[in-house]
Structure 1
Amino acid sequence: MTWDVLSIIGTIAFAVSGAIIAMEEEYDILGVYILGIVTAFGGGAIRNLLIGVPVSALWEQGLFFQIALLSITAVFLFPNNLLRHWQKWGNFFDAIGLSAFAIQGAIYAANMDHPISAVIVAAVLTGIGGGIIRDLLAGRKPIVLRAEIYAVWAILAGLIIGLKIASSPWELYTLFVLITTLRVLSYTFDWKLPSRRLGAQ
């Protein structure tokens, strides 16, 4: 049940995220649907490849595809005056998607009895994979490659689940709220990882 709820939350959040970025880039309606679907399912596809799950498993998620399509359609039909607030709320949707999918990916790997390293990798790939594909297709520098703290929260989620610190439904939902909050705080207060520039001397 927890896995399904997190999957639905992540699917809606990332489908909305991909659709609105496509509209910002002035893609046509087909481009909006493609970017929304790729954002919602790209991370799961990459995760499945690396932990040994057939990619065809994605096609068994009919309900999630329907949820993604409905979410994209709703966003496409939103009045422009509501969509202008995307800059304000867009990062929040992305934070929700990151948190939900990172935890869902970690649970997926943990249930397959993979070691903690694989659980962390599954959390990261599921949490950030769709966003990376979205940004690359939209011609943007992926968030995860900037100094901004992003993938660290997916690593934290994978570590907590891999160490079995959180396993019951209420613990997983608490972790979801925690990771989402940390991501929101990191972009609100501009927390950054150390970086080094190699410019002209």
Structure 2
Amino acid sequence: MTWEVLSIIGTVAFAISGAIVAMEEEYDILGVYILGIVTAFGGGAIRNLLIGVPVSALWEQGLYFQIALFSITLVFVFPQFLMKHWNRWGNFTDAIGLSAFAIQGALYAAKMEHPLSAIVVAAVLTGSGGGIVRDMLARRKPLVLRAEIYAAWAIIGGFVIGLGWARSPFELYTLFVFITLFRIFSYMFHWKLPTRSIYGEKTHLEQ
């Protein structure tokens, strides 16, 4: 039940983030719903394809689809009201979604006895794949690959589960808290991975 609650929080956060991006890009109502659904379920769908889970398994999540659609509708109908709360709690709920989805994705792959590499990929795709697809559809550079440390926490979660360091419920919940907290710390303190540009400090156009 606890994992279901965490998954619902993550689904709501991802669906809302997709809807907000669509509205920022001035998409119509269909675009808002598509981007919201893709953000919430796109990562899981890609993961299923890669690790051999039937794609039809996605349609068994009827409750989650209803929750996502309801969340998107609220954003579309009451954007100003929800944005006030999103600006305050959005990153927190997103961190919960990243952690819960990454762990679930890794557990899916581990249960199917896939190698470590597949478990890590499943964790990353489930935790951050939807956001990557969202940004690509919105013609943006994927935020999870260039802003504060994001996908790296899913990679760590995949390694921990793939190496068998977290198996019991207590260990999995501890891992969940670790990923959530460090994702929150990364945006609070603006932690970033090293970057390198082939243009040096300034591009030709900036000079």
**Does the pair score TM above 0.5?**
yes
**Higher gyration radius (CA):** 2
Alignment of 1:29-178 (within 5 A): 29-78=29-78, 80-84=80-84, 86-146=86-146, 148-178=148-178
Percent of pairs identical after alignment?
76
Deviation (angstroms), 1:79: 5.4
Alignment length, in residue pairs? Answer: 201
Amino acid at match of 1:151: A
Structure 1 residues 192 and 79: alpha-carbon distance in aligned structure 2, compared to 1, 3 A threshold? closer
Deviation (angstroms), 1:64: 1.6
Structure 1 residues 70 and 28: alpha-carbon distance in aligned structure 2, compared to 1, 3 A threshold? same
Which residue number corresponds to residue 23 of structure 1?
23
State the Cα RMSD in Å.
2.1
Listed as ranges, the gaps of 5+ residues in structure 1 are: none
TM-score (norm 2): 0.87
CA deviation string 1:28-55 (max 9, x = no partner): 2222111110001100011011111222
How far apart, in 1, do the equivalents of 2:150 and 2:101 lie? 13
How far apart, in 2, do the equivalents of 1:173 and 1:22 lie? 33
| Runs of 4 or more above 6 Å deviation | none
CA deviation string 1:78-131 (max 9, x = no partner): 351441453444333332221111111011111111122211110011111100
SS in 2 for 1:41: helix
Listed as ranges, the gaps of 5+ residues in structure 2 are: none
SS in 1 for 2:53: coil
TM-score (norm 1): 0.89
